[in-house]
Amino acid sequence: MQDLGTVGLIGVGTIATAMVEGLVGGDGGPSRVILSPRGARNAAELSARHERVEVAASNREVTPGADVVVLSMLPDQLHDAVHDLRLHDGQIVISVLAGVSLTELRDALDTDLPIVRTIPLPPVARRGAVTVMTPAPSVVTQLFDLLGGCLEVADEAQLSVFSAMTGCFTGLLEYVATLSRWAGSRGVSPVDAERFIRDAVAGLAPALRDRETSMDQLIRSHETPGGLNEQLRHEFFDQGTVGSLESALDHLLRRVTE
């Protein structure tokens, strides 16, 4: 298995923790992971669990030995976190910050080093999510291949569309929650209703993961012509509903590109 060098992370919150779990939680990956001291609890837990993981004394001490430096703080924490970093030739920077452009990152870091913007999702912890990214050198694609795969897009404009799409997940869950609440309001036990619908929706996962089947085929294969699913899909997803979803997504797109 190929050694993917040393990865340093500045900011050890939710997504950084998921990435580190994925990178060192199985075969292969970086030989060493150096964490910033911020996100102290996560950093301590990760280093206690994984031999390859250590915690630096300061942000500044994360970078000298790292081949790849991951920026994984919140966007408004960027300047404070990177102001005294020392970067050197040969290093590559990965940013996971939503809505922070390459130009802003380059200015904050004051560097000409290659920077790759990425959108990792929490299932990278189990090496189970494809990561969208701007064009990336092979060491970066190898790291993310290990975490579930890479989806390189041509430019930041395309990355922003994917970034806006990441705002959809709790809305999908709210759809499921609404179904349970509706059933509860019609005299059914809410607990039973929720169990029924959660199991049924979770059961769609294998079909969703089958990339050979288009979404259109998937929809057709789950409904009978003239049946209940077709009726709800047509009645609910009318022009009004689809239009308001698209307009909400446009708002997200504006927000991540402003």
Ligand X SMILES: NC(=O)c1ccc[n+]([C@@H]2O[C@H](COP(=O)([O-])OP(=O)(O)OC[C@H]3O[C@@H](n4cnc5c(N)ncnc54)[C@H](OP(=O)(O)O)[C@@H]3O)[C@@H](O)[C@H]2O)c1
What separation in angstroms does the CA of 27 have from each of 45, 93, 143, 214?
20, 24, 12, 33
* Residue 22 makes contact with ligand X by CB under 6 A: no
Question: Residue count at the site for ligand X (CB under 6 A)?
Answer: 26
CB nearer to ligand X: give 77 or 142. 77
* Residue 147 makes contact with ligand X by CB under 6 A: no
**Interstrand relation of 32-35 and 53-55 (parallel, antiparallel or unpaired):** parallel
Among 4, 7, 15, 147, binds ligand X (CB under 6 A): 15
Whether 8 contacts 62, CB under 8 Å: yes
- For residue 188, the one-letter residue type is V
* Residue 148 makes contact with ligand X by CB under 6 A: no
CB nearer to ligand X: give 40 or 157. 40
* Residue 74 makes contact with ligand X by CB under 6 A: yes
From 14-22, 45-53, 124-132, 236-244, give the range in contact with ligand X by CB under 6 A: 14-22
- Distance between CA atoms of 43 and 21, rounded to whole angstroms? 11
What separation in angstroms does the CA of 108 have from each of 77, 79, 82?
11, 6, 7
DSSP bridge partners of 118: 133
59 is in an annotated binding site: yes
Contacting ligand X within 87-146 (CB under 6 A): 96-98, 119-122
The residue ranges that bind ligand X (CB under 6 A) are 10-16, 36, 38-40, 59, 72-75, 77, 80-81, 96-98, 119-122
